[in-house]
Chain A
Amino acid sequence: MKDKIFRFLLFLAAVLILLLTAGIVYALVSRSTEAFGEYGIWSFIVNPEWDPRPATEEYGAMSFILGTLYTAFFALFLCIPFSFSVALFNGEYFKGMKISSAVRSVVDLLAGIPSIVYGLWGFYTIRPLIIDLGINAQGFGIFLSSVVLAIMIIPYASSLSTEFLSMVPNNLKEGAYSLGATRIEVIRHISIPSSLPGIVASYILALGRALGETMAVTMLIGNTDRIPQGLRDTGNTMASVIANQFGEADGFKLSSLIAIGLLLFVITAIINMIAKLIMKRVSRL
């Protein structure tokens, strides 16, 4: 009897989560229809104009989609050398050693720092460096956001990659060693190829995380509603434009912001699904 009740409670909890997710999607969809209906879904997506003035009011998501993709992919690019070396350090060279668990817990600590703290750090510490480097006059923009984002996503990219690297079967590696391969050769020809799909999946998950990051980016990107003209320029991401403009918005603007939220939700869901698919394939091997 107890078992049955417990089963029922578990079932209830699971159904509740499903309903909750469905509810979020429903709320986003139903409140975006005003914007999608006015502009058409596709033309809303590709339109780079964001003009809130009543006389010429017009909203499109393109500049924010591009701002999001620029910052997220550039952050991913910047994070790869760091997270990859951390993964090799923990999953291969110093696997199971004390120093590895120390590095691991420090990297995990990075994941626990609230995003507003990263924002402050970027604002007060990294931004002056960007100005000194002459990247632009006031420091804000895609470049600054990506640098801070890159550090924020290192733990996500590295901890999963470490797992996949340490999952490489030992008999494979031992076979290579017995054929006279050096450590570097084993890593290059055995460890990396056999864990590559998993490593790729972990980077995709990190990318998904970078896409939706809001607070730190809002503080650092400059918040301009235009397509960024390169990495030195300022811009806005889908998440930051919502954070910036939601409070005062109504009518079409509010609906357009919610539509951008829906698009961000869809993009992130697709990214996560791709990562899951790749990982499923890896675990089948």
Chain B
Amino acid sequence: MSTNPGTTVNYGAIGSGGGIRSLRDHSVDFGASDAFLNEREIESMRSEVVHVATCMGGVVMVYNLEGVDSLRLTGQLVSDIYLGKIKKWNDLMLQALNPTVALPDLEITPVYRSDGSGTTYNFSEYLSRVSPEWSQVMGKGKSLKWPAGIAAKGNPGVAGIVQQTEGAMGYIGSEYALSLRLAMAKMKNKAGNFVDATLETISAAANVELPDDMRATIIDSEDPDAYPISIFTWILVYKDQQYGTRSLEEAQELVRLLEYIISPPGQAVAAKINYAPLSEQAVGKTRRLIESMHYAGKAIISTTGSVE
């Protein structure tokens, strides 16, 4: 970090399940996840956990069809494809939604994540909201029981298969798809508009009333410009920082890092790597959550914004 050259942050990309497990074991300072902890997970932690929103992302539908550079999809259609009910690209429903596109007589290969993933969670959360059948048959979760398609590990695995397989479709984290410039479908949002996933349309999804603990789902947002499968991504930390052999200095360093992440320079870094910046309201609520972190009964950060 250029603003604080004395500090090195080690981040292991081990998956959010591993991160949460390590946080529970007190072996890391923070864990990060695209899905907020459910009640069962919260209870399993050693003490109260705070969800610090760091930036925003989305889940995008990528596809590989030669000669097709624009595709419109609805949640209902995506649900039917992943349930194995729509099997061909020239299906009447798909063709009706894309009247100007010549869709081929080709099998659709839906690709999903073989590892448990926040991306899968958000994807299935979205489909559960827009498709009653999905909600009943599949439900939502980090890993599901899939009736159709093939699986690959991680965003790179799914992207690799989609890029190499004519007729494949996959769901991928927007930051990954945007940086690879993969072909993405326009998704129909709640207001009825077909929206491309961009940093702006993802940020727009947060223009709704947010809860104080920031455990908010902004999927299928009502904002007319919002990309429908948009999410916050969180860093999870213990509210009470005095645990194990932890020193006050360590806790302060952590808080400094979190402060930096939600600051304008931190948010600019996020945008550079294709994560959408937090809305003003989200930054305000997150700052109050960081302020609530304490050590030995005392707040680690004063309300004026500096670490004591």
Contacts and interface: CB of A to CB of B under 8 A. Distances in A.
Interface of A: 50-56, 123-124, 127, 137-140, 218, 222-225, 234, 243-245, 247-250, 253
B165 interface: yes
Contacts of B17: 247-250
9 contacts: A52-B143, A138-B109, A138-B165, A139-B165, A223-B151, A223-B153, A224-B150, A245-B115, A248-B17
A223 B154 CA distance: 12
A137 B116 CA distance: 25
Contact of B145 (A53, A218, A247, A250): A53
Contact of B114 (A53, A127, A138, A244): A244
Contacts of B144: 52-53
B114 A223 contact: yes
A140 B114 CA distance: 14
Interface in B1-40: 14-18, 20-21, 40
B71 interface: no
A31 B66 CA distance: 48
Interface in B159-175: 160-161, 164-165, 167-168
B117 interface: yes
Given A248-B115, A253-B116, 19 more contacts: A51-B145, A52-B116, A52-B143, A52-B144, A55-B139, A56-B145, A123-B164, A124-B164, A138-B150, A218-B153, A223-B150, A224-B146, A244-B115, A244-B151, A247-B14, A247-B15, A248-B116, A249-B17, A250-B20
Contact of B143 (A56, A124, A140, A245): A245
Nearest to B20: A250
A52 B141 contact: yes
A76 to B, nearest CB: 24
Contacts of A127: 164
A243 B152 CA distance: 11
Contacts, number: 79
B200 to A, nearest CB: 31
Nearest to B21: A250
Q: Which 6 A-B pairs have CB atoms at the shortest separation, nearest pair first?
A: A248-B116, A248-B17, A223-B151, A244-B114, A223-B114, A222-B150
B42 to A, nearest CB: 14
Contacts of A245: 114-116, 143
A68 B16 CA distance: 29
Nearest to B87: A137
Contacts of B43: none
B155 to A, nearest CB: 13
A140 B150 contact: yes
B107 A137 contact: yes
B141 A53 contact: yes
Contacts of A52: 116, 141-145
Could you say which interface size class chain B belongs to?
20 to 34
Given A52-B116, A138-B165, A248 B142 contact: yes
Contacts of B15: 247-248
Interface centre among A53, A123, A140, A248, by most B CB within 10 Å? Answer: A248
A247 B20 CA distance: 11
Nearest to A240: B114
Nearest to B38: A54
Contacts of B149: 224
Contacts of A137: 107, 109, 167
A62 B68 CA distance: 41
A52 B146 CA distance: 10
A248 B16 contact: yes
Contacts of B143: 52-53, 245, 248
A223 B152 contact: yes
A139 B107 CA distance: 12
A253 B115 CA distance: 12
Interface in B167-218: 167-168
A143 to B, nearest CB: 13
A220 to B, nearest CB: 10
A139 B152 CA distance: 14
Interface string B34-75: 000000100000000000000000000000000000000000
Contacts of B115: 244-245, 247-248
A206 B150 CA distance: 28
Nearest to A57: B141
Given A55-B139, A138-B109, A249-B116, A244 B145 contact: no
Contacts of B116: 52, 245, 247-249, 253
A103 B167 CA distance: 41
Nearest to B111: A138
A223 B114 CA distance: 6
A205 B266 CA distance: 55
B146 A247 contact: no
A14 to B, nearest CB: 34
Contacts of A253: 116
